[in-house]
Chains A and B, each alone.
Chain A
Amino acid sequence: MDKHLMQYKGSLKTFIIAGCLTMIQSVAIIVQAVYLAKAIVHLYKGVPWQEAAAEFGIFFAAHLIRHFLQWAKSRVAFRFAGRTSLHYQNLLVEKLFRIGPRAISRHGTGNLVTLCLEGIPEFRTYLELFIPRFIACLTIPAVLLVYIFSQDVETGITLLVVMPILIGFLILLGLAAQKQKEARWETYQLLSRHFVDSLRGLVTLKFLGRSKSHKEAIWEVSNKYRIATNRTLRIAFLSSFSLDFFATLSVAVVAVELGLRLINGQIGFEPALALLILAPEYFMPVRDLGSDYHATMNGKEAGEKIHRLLAEKEDFGNGLSFPVPVWNEHSTLTVEGLEKQSPEENRAILQDVTFTARGFQKIGVIGISGSGKSTLIDLLSGFSMPNGGRIRIDGLEVPHLSFTEWQKQVNYIPQHPYIFAKTVRENIAWYAPDAPLEKIEEAARTAGLSDLIASFPNGLDEKIGQGGRVLSGGEEQRIALARALLDARPVMLLDEPTAHLDIETEQEIKQLMLPLFEHKLVFFATHRLHWVKEMDLILVMDGGRLREAGTYDELYRKKGAFYELVEAQRGGVEHGILQPVY
């Protein structure tokens, strides 16, 4: 049983209410069977139906009560499940903001969206179905059995003995199916992914001239998948078969047994008929639980995933606040022995980084892929928290930079600025949603977006991003620049914003960016050399460490790591010393 189940708010109450309702329901089931038997016996004796009307009436009343209670239980369970799942959905979404962007991409954005929006309904279904079903399994057979024993011990014994056998087989076959499924898991994954894989790789297949003939492969793999699935299902369905088999067969056995004892006069017609009606009811709760097994199992798994995620360590903003002043030309940011561990691999991806940034310096961060550039930018913008080292802003020591007072001063532009599935206007005004139209237009104009916007049928109200118009890399950067123009903040962090652009667009964007950097503290991670020349200070990262720091000329003359990087790129010197962290 799920150890979390009793810990939800209101779950005890739900259990108690459902338990009480189920008790009454069990009694209703017995009354229903007894009076139906009475009515039938009356009719059998040949009396006119009006004389059996009272029995039919009681039967019908019991029938109504029974199903009304079922209705009530469903409502109670749904209310509890709905409330709980909604609560967890909100917790989950808030948690995502606290584990930070790195953890989100580690989990896979798609997986998290699925968990929040599809996992939660599954979790609700689990709570909604499992509680009443589970209680019914405990209560109804027990109450019925008490009554059956009071009427006829032998039938009682038959039913009592069958139940553990039935459950035993159910568990045994369930385990066998599980084992088989696990043994074939990898093959399964490969086969079931093959089709999506083929569709996603269609362009590549086309270029290879294989797209026509690949059709056969799809058919073949689909059929292999079918055969493999059939093999597993043969075992998997056995568990519900065994349930069905023992339940139906024991009803048959009870019927025959009752028949034999009727002949010998050991039991009356009416009680025998009542027992016959009750026998299938005795197994019904277990069969219900079995038939909803898969729906509830998915939900249970989703629930476990949710709990795991909620328990995850937070790498990000713990809500603390530090009174740092607005960054100005006399401000200093000192970083000493900064260190960051990779949570997945237990290994330092940044260590021993020490430097000081002053006033409106432009600081270039360079190094090959995996040297720690992006990690440093993430720490500086507060997207993740360091594992060691000291950070001081104007002498005030802070444990990390994930706090509002710092982040409010930061503009951040990554390589692929995210374009929200909204209008151009909303995208530009992302940081300043209340900006007046003229300001937005001005920012768009300065960022060189006027022509593009004029070419849209809806102008500034054209939808862009996912599901809307697709923008080129250069246009995305211009949107990001317009955002930064509209909500100018004194610190700018840029992570390789132009490397993927064609050289002419890169040049245009550069001309737009340079004036934007004035009177700001700028951190600019790049491996494009022309940017490096614009910087006042260059930090050369290598293998997670800060190898060198200085101006372009100083570093170039020094003929160290920086020189090597520049020359290797220009095709002059063989490289071999620079190492990524991995």
Chain B
Amino acid sequence: MAYFNRYIKPYIRQYRWLMVATVLLGIVAFLASSMLTFTSGYLITRASEMPVTILLIYVPIVGVRAFGIARPVARYFERLSGHNTVLKILADMRVKLYEMLEPQALFIRSRFQAGDLLGTLADDIEHLQDAYIRTIFPVVTALFLFLYSVCTLAAFDWQFALWIALLMGIVLFVYPLLSLYFMKKRQIALKETQSRLYRNVTDTLFGIRDWIISGKKERFFKQFHEDSQESHEMERKMSFWNHNRNFQLQVISGMILIFTGIWAGHAAMHGDIAPTYIASFTLVTLPILEGIIPASAAVEKIPAYKESLQRIDAIRQYVPDKSRNSAVPGEKADIRLEHVFYYYENEPAAALNDVSLTIPHGQKIAVLGKSGAGKSTLLHLLIGALQPASGTVSIGGHAPAAYGEGIHQLVSVLNQKPYLFATTVENNAALGRPGATSEEIEEAIRQVKLDRYLHSLPNGIHTQMEETGQRFSGGERQRIALARILLQNTPVVILDEPTVGLDPLTEKDLLDTMFEVLKDKTVIFITHHLAGMEKMDQIVFLDEGKIAMQGTHAALMENHARYRKLYQLDRGDA
């Protein structure tokens, strides 16, 4: 219910008129089809009395035709309006989800260790369409039809209306609640089995080489057959429950029809209704029940929405703190770290332990260290995503956080796998500078030496990246990202292991280009290899959060046997 109040209700309120219109159209469609049956029943009966002139049944004739047309028309517009409303809500939900994710963008991977969480969340939002179209709209329509028919009947005979309300109540309330109760447990169990299957199959396909080599694939088949059999068995039970329910609901419908028929005959005998209406009252039960029976299937889906909302809600738990920005980014930016300590939650050891570092503007500095030595922590401190536990970090005289979003005009980051969006190369590059002219973009492309290659493609810089940029090789993708960084044109550039996964020749070319185009900027080069160290002004070696070695390449070669050994290893001289 909390989820309903938080994620569904606000939208119902916001789009109430569209919702009302949709539901009204739905009701009109059902009423029209009921009235078609009712009127045609009357028409046939009245006609059988052979009235002297056709004019006496003129009104029902027109009615029958009008209702026959009204039903499909209302239904058509109901569907259009429903989808339009829901798509509006989805647009808002997407923005809302994005707002929740954006402040914690850098930590999503470490906080939520679930496979493709982002893809799942996007799907969750899509699935919420059904909450409106398949659950809320049909249930509201069914409720209205129920009230409408019971009230109409009550006008003739309140006792019988009560009796019908009871029978229809079974269809509208008892069965849906029973379905919800029975299906909930089964859906949860099924979901569990299915996600186990999902995990196992994904795991197996990614690790298929190991399975093949191990010669034990039969073991996997056996496990898979058992699991899929189990999941199939559950689905069979759910399906059979549905078949049974449908049958039972149809039996009840038949009973309601008979009761109504008998009542109508009885009422006609006592003069409560004209005998001409017996057929109408009897036959109209079926189209009305047609609108009420779907309630069970609609309500049954609620646990699925709950699950999606739960996942979305888990994101919300991390409330971001508001950033205050007072400092204005300048042209130059000297970087100073003084006795910086940083601790992660639940980890006793310091991620950064008394790190002091000065990087004057324009310097090229390399940061080396094993994974977990504190390289990423340092990066996050420099862009203000983390605050030091003690000590100070300053860029251009202010703490990074003091710039707020302005920090990105000061520091840019090129990471290992820069994301390239599913749009053109030009648009990807232009993300670096809003409103960049095409000359500026061309110039950046030329600087990163992609101009020849891109111009050889039929669409030039308007070539699509394709999904996650499959068309371009690793080196080319880094170059496109580099062009984006050039357009961003910040005084400080952090290169976060940009060459991992590239072969040495590609790596060397790329590094040459990078240092050439970034020659006027401060470059913090986080790296795993020692290629290019000779050109650096300063090399910092992090080890368990501390600076283990620091100096120029020449100084380190001279003073540190450890560095010497690593350098020789890297060159293949060792």
A complexed with B: yes
Chain B residues near A273 (CB-CB < 8 A): 41, 44-45, 279
Sample 22 A-B pairs with CB under 8 A, ordered by A number: A40-B282, A195-B125, A197-B422, A199-B119, A200-B119, A203-B106, A205-B105, A209-B408, A218-B98, A222-B91, A237-B80, A248-B68, A255-B36, A273-B41, A368-B504, A408-B215, A412-B213, A418-B206, A467-B115, A503-B566, A530-B570, A578-B505
Interface stretch, picked from A145-153, A440-448, A568-576, is A568-576
Cβ-defined partner of A241 (8 Å) among B76, B91, B118, B208: B76
Distance A420 CA – B225 CA, assembled complex (angstroms): 19
What 1/0 mask marks residues of chain B from 233 to 273 whose CB sits below 8 Å from any chain A CB? 00110011001101100110011011001101110110000
Contact bitstring A391-430, B, C-beta under 8 A = 1, else 0: 0000000000000100110111010011011000000001
CB–CB A269/B570 < 8 A: no
By a CB distance below 8 angstroms, the chain A residues around B94 are 195, 218-219, 222
Other than the given A248-B69, A259-B40, 20 more pairs (CB < 8 A) read A36-B261, A43-B275, A44-B265, A44-B278, A46-B268, A48-B265, A49-B265, A71-B243, A93-B224, A94-B221, A244-B72, A255-B40, A255-B43, A256-B64, A383-B209, A418-B207, A421-B203, A431-B210, A472-B371, A504-B369
A502 to chain B, nearest CB (A): 4
- The 10 A-B pairs with the shortest beta carbon distances in the complex, nearest first, are A209-B408, A529-B572, A252-B68, A43-B265, A222-B91, A269-B48, A255-B40, A201-B419, A262-B47, A418-B207
A429 to chain B, nearest CB (A): 11
Interface of chain B, main secondary structure: helix
Whether, in the assembled complex, B232 has its beta carbon less than 8 Å from a beta carbon of chain A, the answer is yes
Min Cβ gap B213→A in Å is: 5
**Contact pick for B76, options A49, A121, A226, A237, CB 8 Å:** A237
Inter-chain CA distance A78–B98, complex, in Å, is 41
Q: Does B10 contact A (CB under 8 A)?
A: no
A282 CB–B CB distance under 8 Å: no
Q: Would you call A234 and B47 a contact (CB within 8 A)?
A: no
Q: Which of B11-28 contact A (CB under 8 A)?
A: none
**In the complex, are the beta carbons of A470 and B113 less than 8 A apart?**
yes
Pair B528/A500 contact, Cβ less than 8 Å: yes
Give the B interface residue count (CB, 8 A).
Answer: 155
> Which among A255, A407, A466 is the interface contact of B115 at CB below 8 angstroms?
A466
Known: A82-B232, A113-B202, A248-B72. A276 touches B41 (CB 8 A): yes
Chain B neighbourhood of A178, CB < 8 A: none
- Evaluate contact between A259 and B118: CB separation under 8 angstroms: no
* Given known A90-B225, A203-B105, A209-B408, contact A104–B51 (CB-CB < 8 A): no
Q: Are A44 and B113 in contact (CB under 8 A)?
A: no
Q: Do the beta carbons of B72 and A101 come within 8 Å of each other? A: no
> Are A259 and B61 in contact (CB-based, < 8 A)?
yes
User: B500 in the interface, Cβ–Cβ < 8 Å?
Assistant: yes
**From A59, A204, A218, residue with most partner B Cβ within 10 Å:** A204
Q: Which residues from chain A contact B336 at a C-beta distance below 8 Å?
A: none
- Asked if B43 and A505 make an inter-chain contact with CB atoms under 8 angstroms apart, the answer reads no
Q: Judging by beta carbons under 8 Å apart, are A208 and B48 in contact?
A: no
B40 A503 Cβ-Cβ under 8 A: no
* Residue from B60, B278, B415 within 8 A of A203 (CB atoms): B415
A55-94 vs B, Cβ < 8 Å mask (1 yes, 0 no): 0100110011001101100110010001000100110011
B346 to chain A, nearest CB (A): 11
Which one of B81-89, B141-149, B173-181 is at the A interface?
B81-89
Q: Is the CB of B371 within 8 A of A502?
A: yes
Answer whether A112 and B205 are a contact pair too, CB < 8 Å, given A97-B212, A256-B61, A272-B48: yes
Judge whether B121 and A529 touch: CB under 8 Å. no
- A82 vs B240: C-alpha distance when bound (angstroms): 12
Contact of B529 among A67, A210, A503 (CB under 8 A): A503
A502 and B369: CB pair below 8 A? yes
**Chain A: how many interface residues by the 8 Å CB criterion?**
151
Checking A208, A259, A430 against B47 with a beta-carbon cut-off of 8 angstroms, the contacting residue is: A259
Asked if residues B36 and A251 are in contact (CB atoms below 8 Å), the reply is: yes
Instruction: Give the docked Cα–Cα distance between A465 and B235 (Å).
Output: 29
Task: Kindly state whether residue B450 has any CB partner on chain A within 8 Å.
Answer: no
Chain A residue numbers with a CB within 8 Å of B95 are 215, 218-219, 222
**B574 located at the interface, meaning its Cβ lies under 8 Å from any Cβ of chain A in the complex:** yes
Once the chains bind, are A472 and B372 in contact (CB under 8 Å)?
yes
A52 within 8 A of B: yes
Does A454 sit within 8 A of B, measured CB to CB?
no
Residues of the B chain whose Cβ atoms lie less than 8 Å from the Cβ of A251:
36, 40, 68
In the complex, the answer to whether B44 meets A255 with C-beta atoms within 8 Å is yes
User: A466: which of B199, B236, B251 is its contact (CB, 8 Å)?
Assistant: B199
| A residues less than 8 Å from B434 (CB atoms) | 210, 213
Nearest CB of chain B from residue A345's CB, rounded to whole Å: 14
Least CB distance, B503 to chain A, in whole angstroms: 4
Whole-angstrom distance between the alpha carbons of A473 and B372 in the complex? Answer: 11
Q: Does any Cβ of A come within 8 Å of B483's Cβ?
A: no
The interface centre, meaning the residue of B205, B216, B254, B383 with most chain A CB atoms within 10 A of its CB, is B205
B262 touches A56 (CB 8 A): yes
From A207, A225, A502, B383 is in contact (CB under 8 Å) with A207
Tell me which residues across on chain B come within 8 A of A222, comparing CB atoms: 87, 90-91, 94-95
Within 8 A of A (CB), among B422-438: 422-423, 431-432, 434
Indicate if B152 sits at the interface (CB-CB under 8 A): no
Within the complex, which residue of A82, A404, A414, A474 is in contact with B215, where a contact is CB–CB below 8 Å? Answer: A404
| B8: interface (CB < 8 Å) | no
Q: Are B405's CB and A209's CB within 8 A?
A: yes
The verdict on A381 contacting chain B, using a C-beta distance below 8 Å, is yes
- Cβ–Cβ contact B371 & A473, under 8 A: yes
Instruction: Find B203's partner among A128, A202, A420, A469 (CB 8 Å cutoff).
Output: A420
Q: Let me know if B530 is at the binding interface, CB within 8 A.
A: yes
Contact residues in A for B501 (Cβ distance below 8 Å): 499-500
> How far is A238 from B73 in the complex, measured between Cα atoms in Å?
10
Asked if residues A68 and B91 are in contact (CB atoms below 8 Å), the reply is no
B244 / chain A contacts, CB cutoff of 8 Å: 71
Q: Which residue of B lies closest to A220 (CB)?
A: B91
B314 within 8 A of A: no
Is the CB of A532 closer than 8 A to any CB of chain B?
yes
Are B275 and A46 in touch, CB under 8 angstroms?
Answer: yes
- Bound complex: CA A71 to CA B247 (Å): 6
Q: Is A328 an interface residue (CB 8 A)?
A: no
Residue A214 CB within 8 A of the other chain: yes
Q: Residues of A contacting B106 with CB < 8 Å? A: 203, 206
Question: Could you tell me the distance in whole angstroms from the C-beta of B163 to the nearest C-beta in chain A?
Answer: 15
Report if B523 contacts A (CB, 8 A): no
- In the bound complex, do residue A465 and residue B201 qualify as a contact, i.e. CB atoms below 8 Å apart? no
Q: What are the residues of chain A within 8 A of B182 when measuring CB–CB?
A: none
Using A233-B83, A259-B61, A260-B47 as known contacts, say yes or no to A505 and B419 having CB atoms under 8 A apart. no
Q: Which residue of A lies closest to B33 (CB)?
A: A248
- Residue among A202, A268, A404, A410 facing the most chain B CB atoms (10 A cut-off): A202
Q: Does chain B have a CB within 8 A of A515?
A: no
B538 adjacent to chain A (CB < 8 Å): no
The smallest beta-carbon distance between A238 and chain B, in angstroms, is 8
**Contact residue among A199, A259, A474 (Cβ-Cβ distance under 8 Å from B43):** A259
Contact with B along A212-234 (1 / 0, CB 8 A): 11110011001101100110011
Contacting residues, chain A, for B88 (C-beta < 8 A)? 223, 226
Name the residue among B44, B76, B474 with the largest chain A CB count within 10 angstroms: B44
A458, CB-defined interface residue at 8 Å: no
Q: How far is the CA of A442 from the CA of B406 in the complex (A)?
A: 53
Pick the contact of A207 from B41, B265, B408, B504 — CB < 8 Å?
B408
> Cα distance A430–B468 when bound, in Å?
33
- State whether B118 touches A265 (Cβ < 8 A): no
Q: Which residues of A contact B203 (CB under 8 A)?
A: 418, 420-421, 465-466
Q: Assess whether B118 is in contact with A199, with CB atoms less than 8 Å apart.
A: yes
CB of B171 closer than 8 Å to a CB of A: no
Contact B202 A109 (CB under 8 A): yes
Measured between beta carbons, the chain A residues less than 8 angstroms from B405 are: 209, 212
Interchain CB contact under 8 A, A48 and B269: yes
Q: Are B572 and A60 in contact, CB atoms less than 8 angstroms apart? A: no
Cα–Cα distance between A218 and B98 once the two chains are bound (Å): 8
In the bound complex, do residue A411 and residue B370 qualify as a contact, i.e. CB atoms below 8 Å apart? no
